[in-house]
Amino acid sequence: MPRLRVLLLTLALAAPALAQTAPTDRPSTAAGPPAGYTIDPEFTAKSPDGAITIEQYENKADYKWQFWVRREGTFTLLDPELADYPAGFRFTNDLKWLVRMQKTGSGESTLYLYRLGPQGFVPATRKPLGDLAWAYFKSRPEWRKVKKAPEYHITATLVKGIDDNYRWLGVDWPANRYLLVTLSGDADVKGRKPMQTGVVNGWRCRYDLQTGKFDEPALFSQNNAEAVVPR
Q: What is the dihedral of CA 44, 46, 50, 51, to 10 degrees?
A: -100
Provide the b/e sequence for 15-28 (b: ≥16 CB within 10 Å): eeeeeeeeeeeebb
Q: Residue 15 in 3-state DSSP?
A: helix
For residue 11, the model assigns a pLDDT of 39
Provide the b/e sequence for 51-62 (b: ≥16 CB within 10 Å): ebebbbbbbeee
Are the C-beta atoms of residues 94 and 174 closer than 8 Å to each other? no
For residue 31, the model assigns a pLDDT of 80
Task: Tell me if the bond preceding 194 is cis, omega within 30° of 0.
Answer: yes
Are the C-beta atoms of residues 87 and 67 closer than 8 Å to each other? yes
- What residue ranges of the chain have pLDDT lower than 70? 1-30
Amino acid identity for residue 148 in this structure: K
For residue 142, the model assigns a pLDDT of 94
For residue 193, the model assigns a pLDDT of 78
Domain ranges for the chain, please list them.
30-227
Sorted by sequence, the CB contacts under 8 Å of residue 67 that are 6+ apart come out as 54, 55, 56, 57, 77, 78, 79, 83, 87, 100
Give the number of other CB atoms < 10 A from CB of residue 121: 26
CA–CA gap between residue 105 and residue 85 (Å, rounded): 8
Instruction: Say what the pTM is.
Output: 0.86
CA–CA gap between residue 135 and residue 29 (Å, rounded): 32
